[in-house]
Structure 1
Amino acid sequence: MMREELGDLVVFMAVAEERSFTRASVRLGLSQSAVSHTVRRLEESIGLKLLNRTSRRVSTTDAGEKLLDALRPSFGQINARIEEIRMLGDAPRGLVRLTASKAAARAVLWPKISQIVRDYPEVQIELNLESRLTDLAEDRFDAGVRLREFVSPDMIAVKIGPLIRMVAVAAPEYFRKHGVPKHPSDLDDHACLSLRFSSHAPAYDWEFEKEGEAIVKKVSGPLIFSESDLCIDAAKEGHGIAFVTEPEVIDDIEDGKLRRVLADWCPPFDGYHLCYSGRRQISSAFRLVIDRLRYRD
């Protein structure tokens, strides 16, 4: 394989993973036209269309998905080995400041952060837990954890977890008393436990999708929370239906404390990403955190 073709594959992977030529160009530090030209050159070289392009989204074709599946483990191993070689120099040290929601911290951050500080005693990690989307530069954070849809296009986004889905849940006793919603429109007749992540923001709308039909529901109920923990507790106590990420309640669902509804209206979507400015200088400690958190399929 020629060196130019290897570079083309790197560009294709970035576009396929970001599902956007714009975000891929930011991630790679290239112009959007250069990224587009590179992908076209690769498609011409292979003789197959690898990406479907519309005005709103980019997706992989069957051939593109097969190529992506082949490339990910190989490039993942290469990146891991390079990072190991880099670490042969001075041991990582210093403070890394991260901000994330409690749900993200529990789902993807804590197990790896716990191991990092064991393996590297001179690395210190500050973890700020709040649901609002903080300004990373203003609050002097090295990085933040966001769901992919909330990552600004001018930020570098590193995938740190698998696809996730939202779930609508309530206590079994609640559904025995009030019935089970079969369609998102049925939620108008139910007590819904809302989340408002900032005092200046409206309550979070519930988003559903099935067979190409998308529905955004403005719900109402007796309680509004700024964090999901108490919202889930309220659902378990029978106050209404909560709409939260699946990892937060999977144990309660399996134990029978909560019952899931409208599952066919809650498809999986891009999960948590570590996002940071491409203009910032990356310390050895932060580089270590990025590599350890990076999700490898």
Structure 2
Amino acid sequence: MIENSELSELAAFAAVATHRSFRKAAIERGTSASAVSHAVRNLEARVGVRLLHRTTRNVSLTDAGQMLFASLDPALSNIRMAVDGLNRWRDTPFGTVRINVPNTIAPFVFGDTIEMLLKENPGLRVEIVATDQRVDIVEEGFDAGIRLGERLSQDMVAVRIRSNLRFAVVGSPAYFEKHGTPSTPYELNEHVCIRYAFPGGTLLQWEFQQKNGEFIHVEVDGPLTVDSQELMVDSAARGIGLAYVWEQRAESFLRDGRLLRCLEDWCPQEENIFLYFPSRKHQPAGLRAVIEALKA
């Protein structure tokens, strides 16, 4: 009969084998990399067989490790499905759901939802990691991710959760008084613009839609580049230049007159937001609760 400690060691080994990384396995299991490494060493000592090749950069399976993982992975999947099946006997879902979301849209996705979700599901924990860096949710141990209307790999299931985000070009009254107001996106090269840089250093292109439906992309220029939409809005309100941000970010500034819009007819209409997750037959109850809350 397998004891709890042995099962924990097997689960730790399976996580390392899946991700080929002690760090990523630790993220999935909600523990430290050293704890995962210790569990795998105990397992190897107990069975008397080396299961992993370890270097400073890579982790790979030995032949024995490959054989064990091939048998272990489906067995652990069946155990997870069996435990998750118990959720139907509970009043509320339980456990931790890890979600990755772009930092630029995180407040709009969760702002009106997260309080009620946690209140209605006291056994549920939600861990949100907001970053504009592209993330492989499976490799990084996330249950789901959130993106704008982008193409996803075929092994992912996408659920539309919101469709009310739209970009806006904004500037201060003082800026427009000094520099004038562009009437088309093609005039932006004559204006001072605040640029947005993603974590990898790629600059955001300003996207506009013509009356015939075709999209155009404009590479703007200006002395200030930031990685925060809040800072873009604040800088635009101070008259530094024009900013291209989600209109909800600038809503309070537009309402009190600190910012004005331009090129509104050129800004694309609503952008769909999708929650996506790996295709699986049995979906954890906690993730189902998150999906339903975000859809609502």
Structure possessing the higher radius of gyration over alpha carbons: 2
* Aligned partner letter, 1:240: G
Give the Å deviation of 1:277. Answer: 1.4
Q: Partner of 2:98 in structure 1?
A: 97
Structure 2 SS opposite 1:274: strand
User: Does the 8 Å contact 1:103/1:248 carry over to 2?
Assistant: no
Distance 1:280 1:177 in 2: 60
Structure 2 SS opposite 1:185: helix
Give the Å deviation of 1:122. Answer: 0.9
Q: Partner of 1:204 in structure 2?
A: 204
Q: Per-residue displacement from partner, 1:229-277 (whole Å, max 9, x unpaired)?
A: 1111111111111111122112211211111100010131332211111
Q: Per-residue displacement from partner, 1:93-151 (whole Å, max 9, x unpaired)?
A: 00001121334221121321111111211100011121222221121111111111254
Structure 2 SS opposite 1:234: helix
Q: Partner of 1:263 in structure 2?
A: 264
Q: Partner of 2:284 in structure 1?
A: 283
Q: Partner of 1:24 in structure 2?
A: none
Greater displacement, 221-230 / 103-112? 103-112
Structure 1 residues 228 and 182: CA distance shift in structure 2, 3 A: same
Give the Å deviation of 1:227. Answer: 2.1
Structure 1 residues 117 and 234: CA distance shift in structure 2, 3 A: same
Please show how residues 129-168 of structure 1 align to structure 2 within 5 Å: 129-149=130-150, 151-168=152-169
User: Does the 8 Å contact 2:98/2:143 carry over to 1?
Assistant: yes
User: Does the 8 Å contact 1:104/1:145 carry over to 2?
Assistant: no
Q: Partner of 1:127 in structure 2?
A: 128
Q: TM-score, length-normalised on structure 1?
A: 0.66
Please show how residues 15-94 of structure 1 align to structure 2 within 5 Å: 89-90=89-90, 91-94=92-95
Structure 1 residues 291 and 167: CA distance shift in structure 2, 3 A: same
Give the Å deviation of 1:162. Answer: 2.3
Please show how residues 185-196 of structure 1 align to structure 2 within 5 Å: 185-196=186-197
Q: TM-score, length-normalised on structure 2?
A: 0.66
Structure 2 SS opposite 1:187: helix
Q: Partner of 2:224 in structure 1?
A: 223
Structure 1 residues 244 and 184: CA distance shift in structure 2, 3 A: same
Q: Number of paired residues?
A: 209
Gaps of at least 5 residues in structure 1 are 1-85
User: Does the 8 Å contact 2:207/2:268 carry over to 1?
Assistant: no
User: Does the 8 Å contact 1:96/1:125 carry over to 2?
Assistant: yes
Gaps of at least 5 residues in structure 2 are 1-85
Give the Å deviation of 1:163. Answer: 3.3
Structure 2 SS opposite 1:216: strand
Give me the identity figure in percent: 33
Is 2:181 the counterpart of 1:180? yes
Structure 1 residues 206 and 93: CA distance shift in structure 2, 3 A: same
